[in-house]
Structure 1
Amino acid sequence: MQTHFSEEDLKKPHIREADRVLRSCVHCGFCNATCPTYQLLGDERDGPRGRIYLMKEMLESRDDDDQVTEETRLHLDRCLTCRNCETTCPSGVEYHTLLDIGRAEIERRVPRKASDRALRYGLRKALVEPKRFQALLKLGQTFKPLVPGALRDKMPPAPVDAGVRPEGKRHARQMLILEGCVQPGLSPNTNAATARVLDRLGIGITPVPEAGCCGAIDFHLNAQEEGRARARANIDAWWPHIDKHGEAGIEAIIQTASGCGAFIKEYADILADDPHYAAKAARVSELALDLVEILRDEPLDNLTLKESRTLAFQCPCTLQHAQKLGGAVEEVLSRLGFSLTPVSDSHLCCGSAGTYSITQPALSTQLRDNKLDALEAGHPDVIVTANIGCQTHLAGANRTPVRHWIEIVDEAISTQESPLATHNA
């Protein structure tokens, strides 16, 4: 795609980056074929190609150009950032990079209404601090009939007890795990189940309570500097366990929420221009692994199932399109002996997309119901997924039970301790 930036414009880092991405696009339109919002709305401006044109025109225009309006922002807001288009694109266009630039630019040029700003600020403050979120969640669950309808539908019941987490220090192999911001309140058993399964494989989890929200919520709600600040804080929390001054450090930083995992793997990019953190961020991104990347390389024959339910796996966009791990969880579950039902249009987004289900409720609900129809077509006992946002969003329909896949694995494994765990204790 031809661009028309001046030499003065190209001195700005974000314009140089946008120019690079734009020039890789050949405007073929293949991306529209797999874009969830384009399929629902049929508007070119609600597909990746149309949004690319909107961002190009905005970035090339002057600040006082009256063609850049709230309508421009509406079409950018409707994007799920599912990155399905990147999987489809034959030219390797880094659409999400351009979208981050475009959203920051439209935010600067066309300020939001006070009510919209208040909603986004409230979401950021309510979701990113685990203790605050858990307190608000407990309050909402206690007084659920008084919660406004839109939020009441998203209010899950109180989670079951997470059970006992094994003491990780008894193993020679050590990894870190991101506890997350909303997952400890919504599904505390996810990381506890992860610790139990890894314990059976001779892997311990080193706790790092100082690490908090990955920063994705802030970053994708156009508070990008706040998102970078959270990334730096996590790097500071993890770094003593990574840089052991000659000793063997941790093997990996595990994420059980694929949305967090996708963002942490981008720490190297979002902090590339920070002279104090660029090298550390690159190392953290290198160590960041989704849980399935750990388990698929382990001797799963040492894990014996005592039961096997029929599952339908919902592969989050952040797992299949951002991390390029489509099929990985299904392979692990099949190796363990679970029966998986086929899922049509498995590449399409469920509509959760971080805070999208709150900021774009009508589109999100339509996408969720379409996804559930596809997942339930094979009559599974349970729907499993790999991201807390997808899990909560799909479960909110009160149809088939929705769990994190590692919880089902943990429940199905024999209570007999693995010889590997005993050997490495």
Structure 2
Amino acid sequence: MQTTLSERASHLPRAAEAESILRTCVHCGFCNATCPTYQLLGDELDGPRGRIYLIKQVLEGNDVTQKTQQHLDRCLSCRNCETTCPSGVDYHNLLDIGRAVVDAAVPRPLGQRLLREGLRQTVPHPDLFKSLVNGGQVFRALLPGPLQSKLPRSVYPAKPRPMTHRERQVLMLEGCVQPGLSPNTNAAAARVLDRLGISVIATREAGCCGAVDYHLDAQAAGLDRARRNIDAWWPGIEKGTEAIVQTASGCGAFIKDYGHLLASDPAYADKAKKVSELARDLVEVLRDEPLEKLGIHASQRLAFHCPCTLQHGQKLGGAVEALLSELGFNLTPVPDGHLCCGSAGTYSLTQPELSRQLRDNKLNALESGHPEVIVTANIGCQSHLDGAGRTPVRHWIELVEAALP
């Protein structure tokens, strides 16, 4: 796509990257065929091709409007279009660049600003978030329906973590919302890894991955969180840790981008690159291990929802399904498994109507094979899907751990 950046846009820190991405797009429109919001709304500007054109206009100096912001806001950042694109357009990075320019130019209404700032002040803080969840459970009956649906229907307490110290060690990101919404997930991962001779070293100083801030109009704050995590992990990296494991695929996708996002930071570029190289989704660690040592012979009927951040962001579609099948679980077919469930980080709160439509469509697909349980690999998807009050939704590693002899 022919592009001529405006004088102002040409001085942006990522101007050359934006221009390169825009020139990669051939405007074929294949991306619209797999875009969840385009399928729902049927508006060219609510598909990747239209959004790319909007960003092109903005960077070429055209007026930025609230309508432009709205169409960019409606994007889930699911990256389905990247999987579909025959030209390899790096859409999510272009979207981040475009959103930053638009958000700097168009003030949001007060209600939106308060919502976004409120999310930034609560979600990335695990202790505060967990206290709010616990308080919400106590007063659940008094809360309005939309807030009730954000609370877990069942909280499975964390089982004790192994106290053994194996020769093989990995670091683990504890996360910000997962300890409050699904406290047993990381404990289950640690117990399974221990059976395979791998110790998990929890690094308490490593907090939110930074994605929440980064995608809520605060990219600088998100990158600061990335730097703090790198500092927290670096001593373990110097001691030779095998990997930095994430059980939430959304966090994993963002951490694997640290190297790219901090490439121009002379103090952190090399360290960020190393962290991204060591970042592993849990399934990447387990699939290379002798799983027969676990002694699992499961037969439970499951439907697996593959999060967008796992299949499109990390290109690991099919990996969890293969592992669960190897362990004996009976996986039901899921039509249109490439489509987003509508969680998309904080999207279910900032775009609730679209998010609910996508969730209900996804649940209809997941339940079509009549599973006993739906499993997934990202806490956002897990909470969002379970909030509908239909088939129970859990993290897949919890069912693996529960099947250990």
Query: TM-score interval w.r.t. the shorter chain?
Result: over 0.9
RMSD: 1.1
Partner in structure 1 of residue 24 of structure 2: 24
Is the contact between residue 6 and residue 59 of structure 2 (CA under 8 Å) also seen in structure 1?
A: no
Q: 1:413 corresponds to which letter in structure 2? A: L
Please list, as runs of the form range in 1=range in 2, the aligned pairs for 1:160-309 lying within 5 A after superposition: 160-169=156-165, 171-244=166-239, 249-305=240-296, 307-309=298-300
TM-score (structure 1 length as normaliser): 0.93
Q: Is the 8 A contact 1:214 1:234 kept in 2?
A: yes
Structure 1 alignment gaps of length 5 or more: 415-425
Question: Alpha carbons of 1:158 and 1:401: their partners in 2 closer, same or farther (altered >3 Å)?
Answer: closer
Distance 2:146 2:91 in 1: 31
Deviation digits for residues 111-155 of structure 1 (CA, Å, limit 9, x no counterpart):
111111110000111100000101111111111123233222212
Whether 1:71 and 2:85 are equivalent positions in the alignment is no
Distance 1:391 1:280 in 2: 32
User: Post-superposition shift, 1:210?
Assistant: 0.8
Q: Is the 8 A contact 1:141 1:157 kept in 2?
A: no
- Equivalent position SS for 1:398: coil
Equivalent position of 1:140 in the other structure: 136
Matched residues in 1 for 2:58 and 2:381: separation? 32
Pick one of 381, 386, 392 that aligns with 1:401: 392
Partner of 1:120: 116
Distance in 2 between the 1:324 and 1:14 partners?
Answer: 25
Q: Which amino acid aligns with 2:348?
A: S
1:48 matched to 2:48? The reply is: yes
What's 2:359 paired with? 368
Q: Determine which of 104, 107, 111 is the counterpart of 1:108.
A: 104
In structure 2, C-alpha distance between the alignment counterparts of 1:398 and 1:168, rounded to whole Å: 38
**Cross-structure match for 1:417:** none
Alpha-carbon distance in structure 2 between the residues aligned to 1:46 and 1:376: 28
**Residue equivalent to 2:344:** 353
| d(CA) in 1 for partners of 2:136, 2:312 | 33
- Residue aligned with 2:14, SS: helix
Where in structure 2 are there 5+ consecutive unaligned residues? Answer: none
| Distance change in 2, residues 1:168/1:35 (3 Å) | farther
Worse overlay, 155-164 or 127-136:
155-164
Instruction: State the AA in 2 paired with 1:43.
Output: D
2:372 to 346, 367, 381: 381
> How many residues of Structure 1 are paired with residues of Structure 2 in the alignment?
405
Q: Structure 1 residue runs of 4+, over 6 Å off?
A: none
Q: What is the identity, as a one-letter code, of the residue corresponding to 2:316?
A: L
Aligned equivalents of 1:51, 1:392: Cα separation in 2:
28
CA distance in 1, matches of 2:54, 2:251: 28
2:203 and 2:339 map into 1 onto residues whose CA distance is 35
- TM-score normalised by structure 2 residue count: 0.98
